[in-house]
Structure 1
Amino acid sequence: MTTTSPRAPGMATLARHPVIRVLSAAMLVNTLGNGLFMTTSALLFTRAVGMTPSQVGFALALGGVFGIASGVPMGRVADRFGARPTVVALLGAEGVLILGYTQVHSFWTAVPLICGVTFLDRGASAVRNALVAHALPAELRMPGRAFLRMMTNAGVGVGAALASLALVVDTPSAYRTIVVLDAVTFVLAAVLLTRVPAGRPAGDAASGGGGFGALTDVPYLVITVLAGVLVLQQGILEVGVPLWVTRETHAPRLLVSACLVLNTALVIALQVRMSRGAEDPRVAARACLRAGTLMAVGCLLFGLAKGPDPWTASALILGALALQTVGEVLCAAGTWALSYELADERAHGVYQGVFNSGFAAGVLLGPLVVTQTALRHGMAGWLVFGALFLVTAVAFVPATRGAAANRPAWEKAPA
């Protein structure tokens, strides 16, 4: 278990670090492509492929299931052959597969492609997290991840802005052009990641207790489930805010865009700063406690926004969104630290694969939970959602204490 560094590196130091510089460049390129595609994907599938909105929803949900299933096997491959070659291969394959979106013209041809792309994407995400663990010293993992998340939000924001050009043109050809550009970003990111130090493959860990051990590490699985519950919060921003603001409050519709901008700006401004010191599992657990508490209060404010005049409703929604975003930042910092600090150093691929599967499950279920609680039952639903966050937040402290007190035997074994 690592200890908190006495002096957390600043932004300038992180930006100059050679490994973080390469990782952040690859992340910026890749997420710029993600921003392009995320902004136009619904229109691509409906206008270019010819799918109905319900078919798009079903296909994306099924793809999400495949994404949940990819983390562990891809993590095992990374432990066996090395994180760098695995993530490079996954990104390259995903770039090629994404090009298939330019050739599909029906629901039945799009579904397997969406499932395949999502499988590769979530697997690459898990392996990329393992690459951070292998390529960076322990004291730089957390600040490095925070810096990379900042670059992720910047890349998605720039990509979304550029995608507006395709929205203006609004033709199938424009949306297919976005697909090609997105595919290119995956290939460029893969090329950039070849410059990251390969590290030592953990294949020999299998004989020493590695392998798929994360699936039987109950304390780690508990932390993974708790983190997945807090990740449900993403469904609030993606689905809850747009529908709640436009259907249930007197706030102006433009507030939806303002919320997205505020969320992005706060993450970029706060992620590195609020991740400092979280390397210590006790600090990380307290960060998760604060995160869930803020999310719960944010749910209460969202519920109160129904009924008041437009100015009051807008103030409540922006306040709720700010609290939710700070909670999101703290949650990311705390759960990242726990995912690294409680993992077997010899099998980061599988451990990050397990953790990433929990994250993917939270992302998949978030829209469903928010629609079945807050959007269906109003204030009562928001209170239920908030209570779920609060109970989960409180559980992090004893769960982390128990996991740290019952470290498996591999912790005492030489790496």
Structure 2
Amino acid sequence: MTTFVNRAGTGAAVTTFALFFTRVVGLEPTQVGLVLSVAAAVGLVGQFPIGHLGDVRGPRELFRSLTVVCGVVLLGLLVVRSVWGLMLVMGAAQLLQSGAGAVRNGYIARIAVGGQGVAFKAYLRAVTNVAMSLGAALGGIALWIDQTWAYLGVFAVDGLSTIAAGLLVSRLPHLDPAPPRGEGEPLFAVLRDPPFVAVTVLCGLVAMHFVVMEVGIPLWISEHTTAPTSMVAVLLILNTVVVALFQVRLSRGADDVVTSARAMLVGCVWIAAGFALIALSDGVTRWVAVAALVAGAAVHVVGEMRSSAGQWGITMGLAPMEHQGQYQGFASMGFSLSNVIAPTLITWLCIEWGWPGWLVLGGLVLACGVALVPVTRWALATRERYGALSASG
């Protein structure tokens, strides 16, 4: 319920944010883009230390506080009208949201053990997609009305729903904070864990495929195919609906680190195949292009769901229980960093280069999936060593 309430408001706000601050407030699109980039950078650096704070302060209580305060900050969108004010509000909100996400992931990893964490994360992702879709529909109504009061109503819903979600966190079970650090124990144990750092880098590179739906597909359809631009919406809906229906089912079997690594490799194979099908939409007739795009998106989303399950199982399974917040926050940094790198790389490979770029991008994702199998074995073999390191320094 907490996730549904929170993400529904987010879906509505995301749909209307850019248009309100450009068309109604009068900011330049480049200014809005700068605001979002700065906010993303602030959120990136906050995930790791705030996740650690959840370990030492108690994850439920910190998760609740961060979420409630984030809702209050988001209400600032009702009054802010300058680029600097907007940057302050969005930077603070992104810091709080990213930190709350890291703490939440650490909480899930501690409370859902024995392979249940992957199933729980899959369920939350399905709920998130449904909530975001309903929120986007609400945002669409505001866009249709196209009045200031409608946009402000959406921002109010987003802020208030976030506050409500934070209050609902109180219903979750309490978890005790991690034991105090021993003498000589490092503050951030994950930075002394090279195998986990390597896993995070590889998982972050695989996660670049998420940006394809946001950046690669719209530009590819408009510049390289004869398919109608409305296919962008069709493929996005396809992705959202399929994840909502099948994420839980396709996450089964990723019960430990070894099976999760295999699941991620299988997911990367599907992703690479999906990119190859999308490449076939270049230079063909309208309906062949549409068929190739739908087939590619359908294959890609299977890989998305399977690789997501694998990534959850790997990062939760490798992290010491007393440092789950810190480790999950660090793992989230890899995902966030991919969002910084991927737009430029995807534009260069797939849009500037053309169809061969899709094959190269798919090959890169597949290579990371292959590398994750031996890297996770290395990480498993060193758990005792780095677990002892985190306890003794």
- Distance verdict in 2 for CA 1:413–1:248, change over 3 Å: closer
The corresponding residue for 1:22 is none
* One of 98, 102, 121 as aligned partner of 1:122: 98
Contact 1:130 1:352 in 2 (8 A): yes
1:244 aligns with 2:220: yes
Q: Distance in 1 between matches of 2:344 and 2:284?
A: 27
Q: Distance in 1 between matches of 2:112 and 2:185?
A: 23
Contact 1:75 1:349 in 2 (8 A): yes
Contact 2:243 2:301 in 1 (8 A): yes
* AA aligned opposite 1:130: G
Runs of 4+ in 1 over 3 A off after TM superposition: 205-211, 408-415
Q: Distance in 2 between matches of 1:174 and 1:117?
A: 21
Q: How does the TM-score come out when normalised to structure 2?
A: 0.95
The corresponding residue for 1:78 is 54
* One of 293, 299, 324 as aligned partner of 2:300: 324
Q: Distance in 2 between matches of 1:61 and 1:362?
A: 13
Contact 2:115 2:313 in 1 (8 A): no
CA shift at 1:296, angstroms? 1.5
The corresponding residue for 1:282 is 258
* One of 118, 131, 153 as aligned partner of 1:177: 153
* RMSD of aligned Cα (Å): 1.8
Q: Distance in 2 between matches of 1:129 and 1:206?
A: 25
* AA aligned opposite 1:31: R
Contact 1:48 1:105 in 2 (8 A): no
> How do 1:206-355 and structure 2 match up within 5 A?
209=185, 211-355=187-331
- Distance verdict in 2 for CA 1:206–1:183, change over 3 Å: farther
1:151 aligns with 2:151: no
Contact 1:50 1:107 in 2 (8 A): no
Deviates more, 1:208-217 or 1:241-250: 208-217
The corresponding residue for 2:80 is 104
1:141 aligns with 2:101: no
Contact 1:210 1:344 in 2 (8 A): no
- Residue by residue over 1:74-107, the C-alpha shift from the partner in whole angstroms, topping out at 9 and shown as x without a partner, is 0111011111011111111110111111211121
Deviates more, 1:403-412 or 1:268-277: 403-412
- Residue by residue over 1:160-187, the C-alpha shift from the partner in whole angstroms, topping out at 9 and shown as x without a partner, is 1111110101123321211110001111
* One of 162, 166, 176 as aligned partner of 1:200: 176
- Distance verdict in 2 for CA 1:177–1:281, change over 3 Å: same
Contact 1:45 1:56 in 2 (8 A): yes
Q: Give secondary structure in 1 for the equivalent of 2:310.
A: helix
Deviates more, 1:309-318 or 1:126-135: 126-135
* One of 322, 331, 334 as aligned partner of 1:358: 334
The corresponding residue for 2:45 is 69
> How do 1:82-97 and structure 2 match up within 5 A?
82-97=58-73
Q: Distance in 1 between matches of 2:25 and 2:36?
A: 14
Q: Distance in 1 between matches of 2:140 and 2:304?
A: 27
Q: How does the TM-score come out when normalised to structure 1?
A: 0.90
Contact 2:116 2:255 in 1 (8 A): no
- Residue by residue over 1:323-366, the C-alpha shift from the partner in whole angstroms, topping out at 9 and shown as x without a partner, is 21111111110010111100011111100110111111123332
The corresponding residue for 1:31 is 7
- Distance verdict in 2 for CA 1:205–1:376, change over 3 Å: same
- Residue by residue over 1:15-37, the C-alpha shift from the partner in whole angstroms, topping out at 9 and shown as x without a partner, is xxxxxxxxxx1001111011111
Contact 1:288 1:335 in 2 (8 A): yes
What is the total number of aligned residue pairs between the two structures? 391
* One of 22, 30, 38 as aligned partner of 1:54: 30
